[in-house]
């Protein structure tokens, strides 16, 4: 239903004017170095040494570190499950991965050493989606999520089903996330042949610099790699951190912003609201005036949608009855959210816009930019990019589903229903479109049809929180108060932010 690749359920993190301490017990890291791939001509020289050095540094910085070397798919799964089990609300969770990575279906995957990859669908079966892992960490309550990915290598798999090595693709991640790739999007670099990668050499150098916030550490790493490689390798960074964080505990610096207000004394009044800016400094005496507006306060980005999954065959519901305004909150407008000019310098959007300028029919770039726009609440811009994607490929079911969801959020329910029905016609077992259509029917007041759609989605994925919560609301509106309350309680136990998420769609 939401604009995302795989299970991205954002954790809303309160902004605070000074850097939180994040005690050592709250810092967890999983470090993986995969070097011995049977399909490769020879083992990679860098990942094991890089992983060990990164692990040693993170331990010095107060992280509880688990290290994995040459992990199979089962071993990687167990390692991630172990990390998930440690996360507590507000924890810092860091992943370092060095090995082969592949992009497929607009996601980036880390590849275990025993992966059997002959077709693109094998990538999604055997690989581990970076976005899915960040989403799961977010769902578990991690306040700061960091992914350092050294996987932009030429690999032996892609040449079996592609004529080129595509590198990695942008990550659309939850709030409070910092992601860095060792090379630019859709680009690859060859191992230098030494014992360590240039990326890790520069990263370790900058992590050890005191009084740097994490974003500054990674930006300095990017400049160091770019300079050392004479511009041939330019790392990619994406940040949605909502609080200050430093690799070295107790760093006194602050994240660079347009205007940084001075620290304020603690205020014992109401609890912090997600994405609320730090308190402004006291104003000098002045005649009474309206409360000041804080500049550059970005709107809370809505959660991104679930990833593609299968669906069950079901008859399409009849056109929905008129919306009952008393049942739903006002929906965002198609013109709500930041403008294209405001978002132009966002690193992901800037890169995708450059690709589109070079090739206006770059369907992947258009689709990805639409997702980013939607995740930032720029719904009109998102719909336009999905329109252009579907102009090029009218059978792109993911674009149809994402446009369905975006239209639903802004209240274009008839257009949304048409998109979801078409997506389901093209892919009869597409769980995301069932989930999205359930939301369309819920907002339209067709609660029985909503229950049918959410039931079908949950038969495929019983842990799809948005369908569980949506079904609970639909059941309550259909008169089954006790059954609905049970669904809602179960959904809230799985994701405490689900109520706020649906409220952002206009459903209460």
* Residue with the larger pLDDT of the pair 395 and 297: 395
The residue-averaged pLDDT of 286-313 equals: 42
Q: How much is the pLDDT for 117? A: 87
**Least confident residue range of 29-43, 185-199, 250-264, 417-431:** 250-264
Residue 286 has pLDDT above 60, yes or no: no
Residue 246 has pLDDT above 50, yes or no: yes
Question: CA 417 from chain center: how many Å?
Answer: 26
Q: In whole angstroms, give the CA distance from residue 20 to residue 61.
A: 15
pLDDT tier at 191 (50, 70, 90 boundaries)?
low
The DSSP string of 98-158 is ES-EEEETTEEEE--TT---SSHHHHHHHSEEHHHHHHHHHHTT-SEEEEEEE--B--TTG
User: pTM of the full predicted structure?
Assistant: 0.53
pLDDT tier at 280 (50, 70, 90 boundaries)?
very low
Give phi and psi for 473, each to the nearest 5. Answer: -65, -45
Label the pairing between strands 101-104 and 128-129: unpaired
The residue-averaged pLDDT of 2-10 equals: 41
Other CB atoms closer than 10 Å to residue 318's CB: what's the count?
A: 8
Condensed to tens digits (0 to 9), the pLDDT of residues 337-395 reads 788 888 888 777 888 899 899 999 988 889 888 888 887 888 899 999 999 999 999 99
Q: In whole angstroms, give the CA distance from residue 401 to residue 424.
A: 9
Q: How much is the pLDDT for 365? A: 84
Q: How much is the pLDDT for 16? A: 35
Of 153, 226, 139, residue with least CA distance to 493: 139
The residue-averaged pLDDT of 403-423 equals: 93
pLDDT tier at 154 (50, 70, 90 boundaries)?
confident
Burial pattern 205-228, b for ≥16 Cβ within 10 A else e, equals ebbeeeebbbbbbbbbbbebbbee
Contact indicator for 221, 183 with CB cutoff of 8 Å: no
Burial class (CB in 10 A: 0-12, 13-18, 19+), 269: exposed
Label the pairing between strands 107-110 and 101-104: antiparallel
Contact indicator for 11, 177 with CB cutoff of 8 Å: no
pLDDT tier at 250 (50, 70, 90 boundaries)?
low
The residue-averaged pLDDT of 419-433 equals: 90
pLDDT tier at 256 (50, 70, 90 boundaries)?
very low
Of 423, 450, 456, residue with least CA distance to 438: 450
Residue 99 has pLDDT above 90, yes or no: yes
pLDDT tier at 287 (50, 70, 90 boundaries)?
very low
Label the pairing between strands 107-110 and 177-181: unpaired
Condensed to tens digits (0 to 9), the pLDDT of residues 130-149 reads 999 999 999 999 999 999 99
Q: How much is the pLDDT for 501? A: 82
Residue 2 has pLDDT above 90, yes or no: no
The DSSP string of 341-402 is HHHTTSHHHHHHHHHHHH-TT-HHHHHHHHHHHHHTT-HHHHHHHHHHHHHH-TT-HHHHHH
Dihedral class, residue 221 (left if φ above 0, else alpha if ψ from -120 to 50, else beta): alpha
Domains in the chain: ranges and CATH: 24-239 (3.40.50.1460), 306-331+417-508 (1.25.40.10), 337-410 (1.25.40.10)
Helix axes 465-477, 481-494, angle to 10 degrees: 160
Q: How much is the pLDDT for 301? A: 46
């Amino acid at each position: 239903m939401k604009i995302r690749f795989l299970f991205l359920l954002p954790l809303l993190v309160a902004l605070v004017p000074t850097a939180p301490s994040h005690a050592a017990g709250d810092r967890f890291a999983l470090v993986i170095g995969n070097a011995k791939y049977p399909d490769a001509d020879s083992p990679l020289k860098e990942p094991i040494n890089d992983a060990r050095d990164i692990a040693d540094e993170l331990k010095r910085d107060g992280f509880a570190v688990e290290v994995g070397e040459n992990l199979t798919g089962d071993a990687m799964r167990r390692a991630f499950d172990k990390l998930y089990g440690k996360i507590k609300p507000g924890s810092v969770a860091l992943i370092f991965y060095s090995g082969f990575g592949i992009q497929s279906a607009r996601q980036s995957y880390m590849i275990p050493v025993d992966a059997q990859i002959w077709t693109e669908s094998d990538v999604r079966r055997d690989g581990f989606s970076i976005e899915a892992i960040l989403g799961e960490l977010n769902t578990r309550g991690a306040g700061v999520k960091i992914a350092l990915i050294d996987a932009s290598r030429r690999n032996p798999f892609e040449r079996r089903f592609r004529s080129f090595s595509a590198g990695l693709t942008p990550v659309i991640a939850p709030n409070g996330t910092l992601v860095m790739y060792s090379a630019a999007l859709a680009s690859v670099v060859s191992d230098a042949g030494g014992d360590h990668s240039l990326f890790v050499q520069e990263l370790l150098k900058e992590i050890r610099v005191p009084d740097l916030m994490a974003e500054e550490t990674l930006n300095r790493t990017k400049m160091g790699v770019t300079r050392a490689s004479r511009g041939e390798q330019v790392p990619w960074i994406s940040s949605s951190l909502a609080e200050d964080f430093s690799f070295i505990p107790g760093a006194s610096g602050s994240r660079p912003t347009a205007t940084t207000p001075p620290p304020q004394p603690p205020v014992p009044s109401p609890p912090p609201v997600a994405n609320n800016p730090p308190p402004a400094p006291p104003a000098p005496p002045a005649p009474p005036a309206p409360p000041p507006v804080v500049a550059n306060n970005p709107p809370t980005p809505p959660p991104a949608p679930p990833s593609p999954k299968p669906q069950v065959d079901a008859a399409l519901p009849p056109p929905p009855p008129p919306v009952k305004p008393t049942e739903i909150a006002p929906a965002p407008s198609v013109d709500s959210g930041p403008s294209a000019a405001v978002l132009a310098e966002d690193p992901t959007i800037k890169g995708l816009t450059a690709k589109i300028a070079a090739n206006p029919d770059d369907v992947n770039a258009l689709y990805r930019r639409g997702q980013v726009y939607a995740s930032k609440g720029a719904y009109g811009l998102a719909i336009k990019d999905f329109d252009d994607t579907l102009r090029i490929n009218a059978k792109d079911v993911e674009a149809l589903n994402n446009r369905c969801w975006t239209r639903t959020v802004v209240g274009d329910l008839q257009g949304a229903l048409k998109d979801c029905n078409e997506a389901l016609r093209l892919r009869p077992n597409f769980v995301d479109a069932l989930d999205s259509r359930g939301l369309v029917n819920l907002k339209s007041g067709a609660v029985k049809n909503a229950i049918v759609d959410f039931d079908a989605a949950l038969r495929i994925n019983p842990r799809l929180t948005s369908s569980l919560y949506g079904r609970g609301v639909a059941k309550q509106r259909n008169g089954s108060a006790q059954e609905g309350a049970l669904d809602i309680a179960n959904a809230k136990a799985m994701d405490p932010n689900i109520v706020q998420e649906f409220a952002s769609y206009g459903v209460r």
